[in-house]
Amino acid sequence: MTDDLDALADDLAEFATEDKPVARSAVDERVIAGFEDIQRFNEQAGHPPRHGDDVDIFERLYAVRLERLAGNPTYVALLRPNDHQGLLNEASRASDVDGAIDLDALASDLEDLDEVASDITELKHVRPVAEKRAAEEIANRETCADFDKFKPLFEKVQSELDAGLRTTRPPETSAEIDAGRFYILSGQKAYVAEVGETFKQDYGDWDARLRVVFDNGTESNLLTRSLHRAMNKDKSSRTISDPTAGPLFTDVFADGDEASGIIYVLRSKSKLPVVTANHDLLHKIGVTGGSVERRIANAKLDPTFLMADVEIVTTYELYNINRVKLENMLHRIFEAARMDIEIKDRFGHPISPREWFLVPLFAIDEAVERIRNGSIKGMSYDPKSASLTLSFGDGKGRDL
């Protein structure tokens, strides 16, 4: 009997009707289609759509849409069966929609549309609001009323750049922007005169208001993030180092550094009595942009080298610095120990070489190290103590 019933059930199954699709309104269809767009974005981006000034407009609109859907119980019931990514639950835990979204900013962004598209992913030529704000803040500068007190700072920075005591580097997006730092933006030097209290933006990032003074006598109240974005957008922008920031002489240099030359210290093999009597103390100090070996190849024919061969005692490689100014600085430091000698060149003309100094090697090492770490200011060599000493304003140990 049971077998007969099973057979009958099988026969009837052939006449069974398929389940009819659920009829949905046009609104429901649009809601489902819009939610599927958000799901596709989540799959491609690896995260739900987010708010934020630096977020693309279409992602911000997706975030608005998701939070509106998550806040409507009717739509949640409609979409929940297909929410395999848990987007609705995550959106419902976010802060209140009206408090988290700047609808005025969204509307402002949409005014930039060059063409209107029915699909949100077809939006073109839309600038994020952060980019517009940064551009506006950079452009909206005003005259700096107390520029007189900043002008000497810009002049000093320029002189230190010329002397090689400061360098410029590409900006680092993660670097802190501190009061007292200098930058180059849009071809102008910018000085961060003040940094205000930090505060948290609506989208969760920390920021601070800056007072930035420019070398053309203007100033602007920028946000830290706005200055970062403006510098990232300007391919020619640079960070100006502190006088003591970063080694000038090193065996390892960062990306973007370029080798500028070599400090060399030489000893002469001349048989002149004054040279042989001071063999271990007499050193030639110079700077070259090429090979030291090539520089000294014809030493015995050159009165600069005392018309004799020389030996290389030591060298220091340097980066991003003005060679001429550095050599002048070294010669000023050891001015008091400069050897006064006259020698005839191969044509019989008298020459007085200016690069030979009666100074021990350890003093040269110390001078180079002080130039590297920025502590050379006001130092000069004292032959009596055979050491570097502070000696401002005496005509020799000048303020370097």
How long a stretch of residues is the chain?
A: 400
More confident residue, 30 or 386: 386
68 lies in some domain: yes
277 lies in some domain: yes
pLDDT number for residue 125: 45
pLDDT number for residue 293: 92
pLDDT number for residue 101: 47
Q: Are residues 276 and 342 in the same domain?
A: yes
CA 333 to chain centre: 33
Q: For a pLDDT cut of 90, what percent of the chain falls above it?
A: 26
pLDDT number for residue 1: 53
| Domain boundaries, position 277 | 259-390
334 lies in some domain: yes
- Measure the CA dihedral 288/306/398/151, to 10°: -30
Here the tokens at position 391 are 């000696």
pLDDT number for residue 65: 84
Q: Are residues 111 and 144 in the same domain?
A: no
Here the tokens at position 230 are 């403006």
End position of a domain, from candidates 88, 111, 127: 127
pLDDT above 50 for 69: yes
End position of a domain, from candidates 87, 102, 127: 127
Number of domains forming the structure of the chain: 3
Q: Are residues 265 and 280 in the same domain?
A: yes
Q: Which pLDDT band, with edges at 50, 70 and 90, does 391 fall under?
A: low
Longest dimension (CA), the chain: 136
Here the tokens at position 294 are 């090539």
247 lies in some domain: no
Q: Which pLDDT band, with edges at 50, 70 and 90, does 14 fall under?
A: low
Phi, then psi, of 34 in degrees rounded to 5: -65, -40
Cα separation, 65 vs 94, in Å, equals 13
251 lies in some domain: no
Q: What is the CATH number of the domain that holds 151?
A: 2.30.30.30
Q: Are residues 115 and 140 in the same domain?
A: no
Q: Are residues 351 and 385 in the same domain?
A: yes
User: Are the C-beta atoms of 190 and 175 separated by less than 8 Å?
Assistant: no
Convert the pLDDT of each residue in 124-156 to its tens digit. 444 555 555 544 445 468 899 999 999 999 998
Helices 129-139 and 103-110 cross at an angle (nearest 10°) of: 80
Cα separation, 121 vs 350, in Å, equals 81
End position of a domain, from candidates 66, 99, 127: 127
pLDDT number for residue 207: 81
